[in-house]
Structure 1
Amino acid sequence: MDTNNLAYSANPLVAFLQKPASMFTMADIVRYICENDIRMVNFMYPGGDGKLKTLNFVITDLQYLNTILTCGERVDGSSLFSFIQAGSSDLYVLPRFRTAFLDPFAEIPTLTMLCSFFDKDGQPLASAPEQTLRKAAEAFRKVTGFEFEAMGELEYYVIAEQEEMFPAIDQRGYHESAPYAKTSGFRTQCMKYIAQTGGQIKYGHSEVGNFSLNGKTYEQNEIEFLPVPVEQAADQLMLAKWVIRNLAYEYGYDVTFAPKITTGKAGSGLHIHMRMTKDGENQMLSNGVLSESARRMIAGMMDLAPSITAFGNKNPTSYFRLVPHQEAPTNVCWGDRNRSVLVRVPLGWAADSDMCALANPLEEATKNSTLYALNSKLNKQTVEMRSPDGSADLYQLLAGLCVACRHGFEMADALEMAEKTYVNVNIHDAKNADRLAQLAQLPDSCVASAECLERQRSVFEEHGVFSPAMIDGIIAQLRSFEDTTLRKDTEVKPEEILKLVEKYFQCG
C-alpha cells in the first residue's frame, strides 16, 4: 500500500486511517470518531426526487454509536418514494462505511455516510436506487466478465449579481479564465470540498454558457470526474450536487442543474463516460482501435437509447435541450470525436507519440519508461453518452446505461447495429439530410420517453435489475407531465417557457 499517496488524500479519513475508503470498517469509523472529537454522525440517502436526505445523530456514548452503525435506523419510505404505500412504509437505512467523510459545512464536527435501504425482512430494498445500480453492475460482470466503470461531466449554472468590470462575451465562456469568468473561485472551492467527500475529480472549468438577465449574471461551469466503479460514480455525483448547492448558499449564489435556462443559450447536460476493465486494464481498445467489446457496448446503447431518456431526462424542460444545432443529441447514432451524435468516442491517447517529450525538449523520451508503460496499460479511452441532463435520477441513469451496455453483449446483431448507426459527419448539416433521415430520433417529451420505456422494459427487468414496481413508478411519473405536444406548443411562447424553467429550476 502506497502510504505516501494515501497521506495526500483530500479525504481526512483516508489520510488519518492510511487505507483507501473501500477498506473502511466499522472499527475504523469508531476510531476516527473517538480520536478526532467527532460529536455528530449524519446518515444521508437519496429520495425519489433525486435529492439527498439527512438524518442527524448526536453521539452521547460508544454503545449508542455502535448501535446506529450496526443496526441503522427506521425511516418512512412512503415519504421518500412514491411507489411505497403508507400501510407498509417502514424501511431501514444502514450506513456504507466506505462512503464516510468529514462534513465540510457542519459547525459541529460531523462524520457523514451514505446509506442503503433495507425492507422489513432485513433484505436490500429491491426498488432502492443504489440497490438497482448494484444489481446492474453485478449482471454486467456476470454476462461480460468485465467491470463497468463510469464518470460524469456535471454542468451547472451559477447565478450572481451582475458586475460591469471585464464583461464576458455572450455564449463564449468555454474554459474562460478570471476575471472574465467571475465564479472560478467558487468552482475551485467546490472541487476542494467534493474531493474531501471522496469524489475523484478529473478537472473543472467554465463552460460555454454565460449571459445576463434581469441584473443577474449566469455563468455555466463544469466539474468532470475520473472513471470509477459505477456504484461509486453515482455516489460521488450525488455528493457533488449537494456540495455545490450548500456552498452556493454560503456564497449567496443560486445554482441550477436544470437542462435549459432560456432559449438561445447553452443548456446543461450530464454527459456520462463509460469504459470496461478486466484485471485493472481498459478493454475499450484493441491494437489502437475501438475493440469489438466496445462496439457491442455501443450497440446496446443504440438499441435502448429511446428508453434511457426515461432515466436521464426527467422533466419537460429536458426536451427543450434535445433539439438540433445545440451540441445536444436528437438522433440515435454514434461517432468519433463528433459532438452532434448521441454516443461520442472521444480522443483516448491512443496515438503512438510521446507528446510530453515533444512539448518539453529537456525531457528524455519516455516511451519505454515505467510511467509510459503504465499509462498505455491503463489507457484512457471511454465512450460518452450525451443525452442525460441534471434532472436525471443518478442511480437509475447509471443502472440503465449499465443494462444497455450489457444488452449489447446479448444482442445477436450487435456489430451490425453498431455499423448501421455509425456516422462520421455532422448530421445536422443540410448536405447530410439523407443520412439523418435514416436514423431513429430520441423522444421529444416525458410522455414519449414513458412509452419507449414501456416497450423496452423487459430488457431492464432482466436479471432482476429494475424491479417492475420501479419501472411502473417511472412510467407513471413521466406520463403525469402530459407534455406530448408541449415543446411544439411553446416554441414561439417565451413567457410559457420561462414559467416551465422556473417550475423545474431546482430539478435533480
Structure 2
Amino acid sequence: MTSGNITESEQAVLDEIEAEDVDFLRLQFTDILGTVKNVSVPARQAEKAFTDGIYFDGSSIEGFVRIQESDMRLVPDPDTFAILPWRQKEESAAARMICDVYNTSTGDPFEGDPRRVLKNALDRADEMGYEVNAAPEPEFFLFEEDEDGRATTKTGDQGGYFDLAPKDLASDVRRDIIYGLESMGFEIEASHHEVAKGQHEINFEYDDALTTADNVGTFRTVVRAIAAQHGQHATFMPKPIPRINGSGMHTHLSLFTEDGENAFHDDDDEFNLSDTAHSFLAGVLEHAPAITAIANPTVNSYKRLVPGYEAPVYVAWSDRNRSALIRKPAARVPAASRVELRSPDPSCNPYLAIAVMIHAGLDGIEQGLEAPDPVRENIYEFDEEKREEYGIDTLPANLGEAVDALEEDEAIYNALGEHIASKFVEAKRQEFEDYLVDVSDWELDRYLETF
C-alpha cells in the first residue's frame, strides 16, 4: 500500500527503513571528477526526499555551478537503497540512496550530473533498439597506515597473482569487503590477489550499465571503509608504486536487443562477433584517444599506461592476447559474447567513462565502421616500424595529450555535454599544468648533486 504520491518501490524503502531501525540516510551523488558526495538527513525525511527532493548548495561541488545559480535538488533513486555494512552491532542502522540532481529553477535534470550523462547515453542506445550491459574489474592496493593513521605505500603481504595465505595476508580484509558488498546486494563472482604486492581484485556480476556505474562508486566506498576498519588504507590510485603493475578497471560491454538476444553474438563469425559488435568495437577504437581523457583522468594514470606492465597502450584488438586495447574474451554461451576495453583505471568517474564508451561504440554502429583485423601477436614486442606496418596507433602519452584529443573529438566532447566537457577540460588542464611546474623527488635524486 502506498500513500500520497509515493510509488510502490519508494514505499518498500520506507518500510525497510522502519523495519531495520535506520536513523540516518546518506543521499549520494558524484561530482564531475567522480568523487562521491553525500547529504546526510534523518531517516524521517525519507518520504519528503521522495516527494519533494532534498535541496543543497551546489556551488561548492567541483564543476557544478556558480554561486549565483547554486540551489540544486537531490531526488533519490529507491532502487539504490542499501543498508551501510560497517555499523557496530549496538548502533542503529544507516543507509544510502544514490540520487539524481535537478535544477531548482527549471525543474529539469541538471546537465552537470554525471549520472544524467550516462542516462543520456542509455537513451541513445534505447532509441537504436539496444540495452547496454557492463562489467568492470576494478583493482586496488591495500597499504599499511602509519602511527598517525596516514597512508603509506608499505604492503602487509608478499603475495603475487592468485597467491594464498600466508603470502596473501590481506585475504581476511577481502573476505570482510565481500561480506559487506554482498549485504548491499552485490553478486560477487571471484576475488584474488593481483600481480603486484598489496594489489587485489574483486569481481562482481555484470548488470545494466547504470546499475554497474552505481556499483563502482559503492564498491570504492565499501572497500575503503572496511579496509580502514582493519587499519589498512585502500587506494584506487592507478600507479602508487613505481616499476610494478598499476591498477586497472578493465570494462566488459555488450548490447542486447529488446527481445533479450545478445546483439554482439554471431555463430557464423570466426570470432563469434556480429557485424554490430565489429562496428561497436571499431567505434571504440576510433574514439580511443578521447575516451582516454575520461577513462584515465589523472596525471598518475599515465604512469600505468606504459609498455611492459601489462597495461594496454596500443590501439588494436585481439581475440587471443592481452597486449591490445580491446580483447574479445572467450564466451561459453551466446549471451556472454562481449568486448573488453582494458585501458580504463579505477580513478575514473564511472558514469562518464561508461557513457563515452557507449557513445563511441554506438557511433561506430551508426557509421557502419569496420573493425580492423585482430592482432594475435604480442604487440609489446613490436618495434615502431612493425606497429606502423600494422597501422597500430598509441594512446595519448600523458594527461595533456588526452585532453587535447578530447577537445578535438566532437562526438565524445558533445556526448558529455558542454557543461561537463568544458568544466572537465578546465580542471584537467589545470591539473596537468600544476604537474608540469612541480619538481619531483626523482628529479632531485637524479640532478641535485650532479649539476
Partner residue, 1:428:
380
Partner residue, 1:478:
428
Distance 1:495 1:305, change over 3 A: farther
Contact 1:198/1:236 (CA < 8 Å) preserved in 2? no
1:23-62 superposed matches below 5 A: 25-60=9-44
- Aligned residue for 2:99, secondary structure, equals strand
Note the C-alpha offset of 1:343.
0.6
Partner residue, 1:123:
108
* Per-residue deviation, residues 335-359 of structure 1 (Å, max 9, x unmatched): 113111101111212xxxxxxxxxx
Partner residue, 1:313:
296
Contact 1:445/1:483 (CA < 8 Å) preserved in 2? no
Q: Which residue identity does 1:142 align to in structure 2?
A: E
Which range moved further: 178-187 or 101-110? 101-110
Q: Which residue identity does 1:72 align to in structure 2?
A: G
Contact 1:427/1:436 (CA < 8 Å) preserved in 2? no
Distance 1:167 1:469, change over 3 A: closer
Aligned residue pairs, count: 423
Contact 1:315/1:446 (CA < 8 Å) preserved in 2? yes
Q: Which residue identity does 2:387 align to in structure 1?
A: R
Are positions 1:112 and 2:100 aligned together?
A: no
1:69-468 superposed matches below 5 A: 69-106=50-87, 107-120=91-104, 121-143=106-128, 145-160=129-144, 168=158, 173-210=160-197, 219-278=198-257, 279-287=259-267, 289-349=272-332, 376=333, 379-412=335-368, 414-415=369-370, 418-419=371-372, 422-430=374-382, 433-435=385-387, 438-461=391-414, 465-468=415-418
RMSD: 2.7
Contact 1:446/1:483 (CA < 8 Å) preserved in 2? no
Contact 1:448/1:484 (CA < 8 Å) preserved in 2? no
Contact 1:308/1:397 (CA < 8 Å) preserved in 2? yes
Distance 1:177 1:495, change over 3 A: farther
Distance 1:491 1:265, change over 3 A: farther
Partner residue, 1:3:
none
Contact 2:407/2:413 (CA < 8 Å) preserved in 1? no
Distance in 2 of aligned mates of 1:284 and 1:494 = 52
Distance in 1 of aligned mates of 2:121 and 2:445 = 42
Distance in 1 of aligned mates of 2:375 and 2:10 = 51
- Aligned residue for 2:186, secondary structure, equals coil
- Aligned residue for 2:431, secondary structure, equals coil
What percentage of aligned pairs have identical amino acids? 28
- Aligned residue for 1:124, secondary structure, equals coil
Which range moved further: 75-84 or 248-257? 75-84
Distance 1:148 1:491, change over 3 A: farther
Contact 1:24/1:98 (CA < 8 Å) preserved in 2? no
Contact 2:290/2:412 (CA < 8 Å) preserved in 1? no
Which range moved further: 236-245 or 248-257? 248-257
Distance 1:113 1:24, change over 3 A: farther
Contact 2:75/2:101 (CA < 8 Å) preserved in 1? yes
Contact 2:292/2:396 (CA < 8 Å) preserved in 1? yes
Contact 1:331/1:440 (CA < 8 Å) preserved in 2? yes
Distance in 2 of aligned mates of 1:175 and 1:68 = 45
Contact 2:32/2:113 (CA < 8 Å) preserved in 1? no
Distance 1:108 1:444, change over 3 A: same
Distance in 1 of aligned mates of 2:46 and 2:387 = 62
Which range moved further: 323-332 or 92-101? 323-332
Contact 2:26/2:39 (CA < 8 Å) preserved in 1? yes
* Per-residue deviation, residues 320-373 of structure 1 (Å, max 9, x unmatched): 111112111112111113111101111212xxxxxxxxxxxxxxxxxxxxxxxx
Q: Which residue identity does 1:314 align to in structure 2?
A: P
Note the C-alpha offset of 1:455.
0.8
- Aligned residue for 2:50, secondary structure, equals helix
- Aligned residue for 2:196, secondary structure, equals strand
Contact 1:59/1:65 (CA < 8 Å) preserved in 2? yes
Q: Which residue identity does 1:424 align to in structure 2?
A: R
TM-score using structure 2 length: 0.87
Contact 2:406/2:412 (CA < 8 Å) preserved in 1? no
